[in-house]
C-alpha cells in the first residue's frame, strides 16, 4: 500500500521578500562569492532580471552523517514511530520489537524549511527488498509528520530460508544473457535480495549488475544492465538497462518529412548576450558569448577546469574513442575560448563546460542544492565520444557527449541536453527512480524538466539563450532549419512517439515515450495551457521557479525508487504543501495539472 498519511500541521509560510538572496558569478581569475547574483555579475545582462533564490539555505541544512547525533536522533524517532505503527500490524512492519529489523537507514537530510527526511531501505528477514523504501518526514519540532513509501506483505521465509543457487551461479546466468564484455573498472556485482517479479509475487533472488561503456563493438550502445535471477529456479525474473540517453530508441526521427540538406555546423547566434561587466568573451556553439570559469596552468595556458563551484567542474576530450577515460583536457593560450583561430575540437567542450556550470548554478540558486550529492560533487564531462555518435548519456559517474552525425544532430552539448544528462545523476542521488515502467518514465521526465530548467535559468542571464519548451532543439537536425526537437513538453505527442496522457500509457511504456505524461504535467503547472488528449485546461501557471522547486522537493524527499505517476502526483502535492501551504494556489495548480494529464 502507499503510505502518505500527512498528520495535521501548520503550513510553512513562504519566505518573505526580505529573506531573498542574490546570486554571484565571478569573472575569470576571481573567487566566486558564496551567494547570489549581483547586478554587475559576469552573467547578468543589464536588460534581464536576475533569478533569485527565495528560500535561502541555512548552514545546517543538507545531508547529515548517519553517525551524527542529529541523524541518530531522527532515525530513532522514525523507528519508534514505525514500531508504534506495527502494533496494528500495519505499515509492513512485523509486530513486536522489530522495526529496526524491517528497515535500514540510507540517508538523513535536513531541508531549508527545518524538516528532516529519513530515507530507509526496506528489509525482510535480514535481506534487502529491492526498490522499496520508507521515508519518514520530521517537522521542525523533530516529530514525525508523515510517512511515504510503497509497502506490501512479503511471505515468511523468503529472506531466511536456504536458497539453491549461489551469487556466482546467478552471475553466470546474467552474463550469458548480457553476452558481452564488462568494464574492468566496474566489476560485476551480485547481491542477495527479495524482489517483486512481473507477476506481482515476491521472490528470493539475486540482483546482478553488469556494465559495458568501453570498447564497444559495431553498433552496440553502452549498457548498465540490472538482472534479477530467482535464487532457487535460476529463472530471469526481469531486467532493465539503467543507462539512458537523450535520443529516442526508434528508427523514425522527430520532424519526419523535413528534408535534410548538407550537414552543417550550428552557428553562433547573431545577438550574443553581453553582461554588464563585458567579461563574456568566450564563444559557444549554441549559447552566444559567455564567461567560463577556468584554471591557469603552470605553463601560462588555461584549462577547462572550474574550481569555483563545489568540488569542481572539468571537461575532457574522449578523443573519439568508445571509452570515455583519461584526462586529456582542453587548453587555450589567452583564456578567450571559441575564437576562430582556436582548435575546432574545443568548440563542443566550451558548450559542455558552460552547460555544467549553468546546471550547477541552477541547482544551487533555484533548488538550493550543492551539486548532485548536495555536498559539492565534482561534475565531469567528456566530449567527442565515439564517431558520429548521436546521443549523450550519464554513466553513473560522468557525462558523455557524442558529436552527432551532422545530419540528425550536431554535437549534443546544448544547455538543455547537459542539464538533462546531469540530472540523471541527481535522480540517482535522490529517489533513485528505477529505469523501467512508470518510475522509468518519471526518471526521464525529471531529466527533461530540470534540463529545460537549466535553459530557462541561463536565459535569465544570457539573452542569446532562447528558452522554450523543446528538448534538444538546438542540436537536433541542424541542417533543416525547422527548429524541430527530440521532445516537446508543451505537446509531447508532436514527436510522433510520446504520449501526453495516462490513459495512453498502456500504448507507450518505453521510458522516453511515457515521460511525456509528467513532462506535460510540469508544463501545465509552470506555464498553464491545455492537454491535447484530454482537452482539460489549466488557466495560468505558477512560473518556472516555483515549478522547479516543487518537482525537486518531490524528487528529493517524497519519491522512492518505484514511484508511479499517481504517487508522483501525491509527492508534488506534498512538496507544494510544505512550500506554500495546503490551501495555496500552488497546491491547486499541482492538482489541476496532473488531472489534465489523466493522473488522479
421 is catalytic: yes
Q: How many CA atoms lie within 13 A of 478 on its CB side?
A: 23
Task: Confirm if 575 and 478 have CB atoms less than 8 A apart.
Answer: no
Whole-angstrom distance, CA of residue 531 vs CA of residue 535: 5
Residue with cell 553466470: 172
Torsion angles phi and psi, residue 465, rounded to 5: -85, 120
C-alpha cell at 285: 556553439
User: Which one-letter DSSP state was computed for residue 264?
Assistant: -
Q: Comparing C-alpha atoms, which of 136, 127, 135 is closest to residue 154? A: 127
Query: SS3 sequence, 318-381?
Result: CCCCCCCCCCCECEECCCCCCCCCCCCCHHHHHHHHHHHHHHHHHHHHHHCCCCCCCCCCCEEE
Give the residues across from 64 on adjacent strands: 108
- Which of 21, 132, 323, 421 is catalytic? The answer is 421
Residue bearing cell 539555505: 57
Euclidean distance between CA atoms 600 and 594, whole angstroms = 7
**Catalytic pick among 137, 207, 353, 512:** 512
Instruction: Give the three-class secondary structure for 11.
Output: coil
Q: Bridge partners of 127?
A: 124
Which residues, including other chains, have CB under 8 Å from residue 484's CB and lie 6 or more apart? 254, 255, 258, 473, 476, 477
Q: List the catalytic residues.
A: 421, 512
Amino acid at each position: 500500500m502507499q503510505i502518505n498519511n500527512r498528520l495535521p500541521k501548520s503550513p510553512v509560510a513562504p519566505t518573505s521578500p526580505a529573506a531573498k538572496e542574490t546570486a554571484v558569478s565571478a569573472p575569470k581569475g576571481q573567487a566566486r562569492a558564496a551567494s547570489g547574483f549581483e547586478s554587475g555579475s559576469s552573467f547578468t545582462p543589464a536588460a534581464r532580471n536576475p533569478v533569485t533564490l527565495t528560500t535561502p539555505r541555512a548552514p545546517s541544512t543538507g545531508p547529515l552523517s548517519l553517525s551524527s547525533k542529529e541523524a541518530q536522533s531522527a532515525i530513532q524517532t522514525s523507528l519508534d514511530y514505525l514500531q508504534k505503527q506495527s502494533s496494528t500490524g500495519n505499515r509492513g512492519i512485523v509486530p513486536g520489537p522489530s522495526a529496526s529489523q524491517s528497515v535500514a537507514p540510507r540517508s538523513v537530510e535536513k531541508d531549508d524549511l527545518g524538516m528532516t527526511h529519513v530515507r530507509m531501505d526496506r528489509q525482510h528477514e535480514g535481506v534487502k527488498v529491492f526498490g522499496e523504501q520508507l521515508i519518514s518526514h520530521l517537522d521542525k519540532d523533530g516529530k514525525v509528520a508523515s510517512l511515504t513509501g510503497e509497502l506490501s506483505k512479503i511471505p515468511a521465509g523468503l529472506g531466511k530460508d536456504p536458497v539453491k543457487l549461489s551469487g556466482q551461479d546467478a552471475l553466470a546466468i546474467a552474463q550469458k544473457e548480457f553476452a558481452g564484455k564488462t568494464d574492468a573498472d566496474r566489476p560485476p556485482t551480485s547481491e542477495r535480495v527479495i524482489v517483486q517479479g512481473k507477476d506481482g509475487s515476491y521472490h528470493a533472488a539475486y540482483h546482478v549488475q553488469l556494465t559495458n561503456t568501453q570498447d564497444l563493438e559495431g553498433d552496440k550502445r553502452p549498457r548498465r544492465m540490472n538482472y534479477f535471477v530467482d535464487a532457487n529456479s535460476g529463472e530471469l525474473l526481469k531486467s532493465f538497462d539503467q543507462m539512458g540517453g537523450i535520443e529516442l530508441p526508434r528508427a523514425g526521427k522527430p520532424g519526419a518529412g523535413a528534408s535534410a540538406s548538407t550537414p552543417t555546423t550550428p552557428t553562433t547566434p547573431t545577438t550574443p548576450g553581453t553582461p554588464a561587466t563585458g567579461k563574456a568573451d568566450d564563444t559557444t556553439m549554441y549559447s552566444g558569448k559567455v564567461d567560463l570559469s577556468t584554471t591557469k596552468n603552470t605553463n601560462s595556458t588555461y584549462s577547462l577546469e572550474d574550481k569555483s563551484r563545489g568540488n569542481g567542474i572539468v571537461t575532457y576530450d574522449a578523443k573519439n574513442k568508445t571509452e570515455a577515460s583519461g584526462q586529456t583536457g582542453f587548453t587555450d593560450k589567452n583564456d578567450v575560448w571559441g575564437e576562430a583561430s582556436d582548435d575546432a575540437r574545443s568548440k563542443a567542450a566550451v558548450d559542455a563546460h558552460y552547460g555544467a556550470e549553468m546546471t550547477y548554478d541552477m541547482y544551487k540558486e533555484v533548488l538550493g542544492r550543492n551539486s548532485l550529492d548536495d555536498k559539492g560533487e565534482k561534475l565531469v564531462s567528456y566530449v567527442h565520444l565515439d564517431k558520429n555518435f548521436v546521443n549523450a548519456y550519464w554513466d553513473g559517474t560522468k557525462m558523455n557527449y557524442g558529436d552527432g552525425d551532422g545530419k540528425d544532430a550536431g554535437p549534443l552539448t546544448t544547455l538543455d541536453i547537459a542539464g538533462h544528462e546531469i540530472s540523471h545523476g541527481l535522480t540517482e542521488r535522490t529517489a533513485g527512480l528505477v529505469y523501467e515502467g512508470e518510475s522509468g518514465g518519471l526518471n526521464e521526465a525529471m531529466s527533461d524538466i530540470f534540463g529545460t530548467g537549466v535553459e530557462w535559468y541561463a536565459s535569465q542571464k544570457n539573452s542569446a539563450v532562447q528558452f522554450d519548451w523543446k528538448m534538444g532543439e538546438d542540436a537536433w537536425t541542424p541542417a533543416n532549419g525547422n527548429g524541430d526537437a527530440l521532445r516537446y513538453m508543451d505537446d509531447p505527442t508532436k514527436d510522433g512517439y510520446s504520449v501526453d496522457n495516462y490513459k495512453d500509457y498502456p500504448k507507450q511504456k518505453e521510458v522516453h515515450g511515457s515521460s511525456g505524461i509528467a513532462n506535460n504535467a510540469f508544463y501545465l503547472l509552470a506555464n498553464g495551457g491545455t492537454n491535447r488528449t484530454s482537452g482539460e485546461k489549466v488557466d495560468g501557471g505558477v512560473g518556472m521557479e516555483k515549478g522547479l522547486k516543487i518537482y525537486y522537493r518531490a524528487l528529493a524527499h517524497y519519491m522512492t525508487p518505484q514511484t508511479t505517476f499517481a504517487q508522483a502526483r501525491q509527492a508534488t502535492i506534498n512538496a507544494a504543501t510544505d512550500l506554500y501551504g495546503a490551501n495555496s494556489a500552488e497546491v491547486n495548480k499541482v492538482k489541476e495539472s496532473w488531472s489534465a494529464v489523466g493522473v488522479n
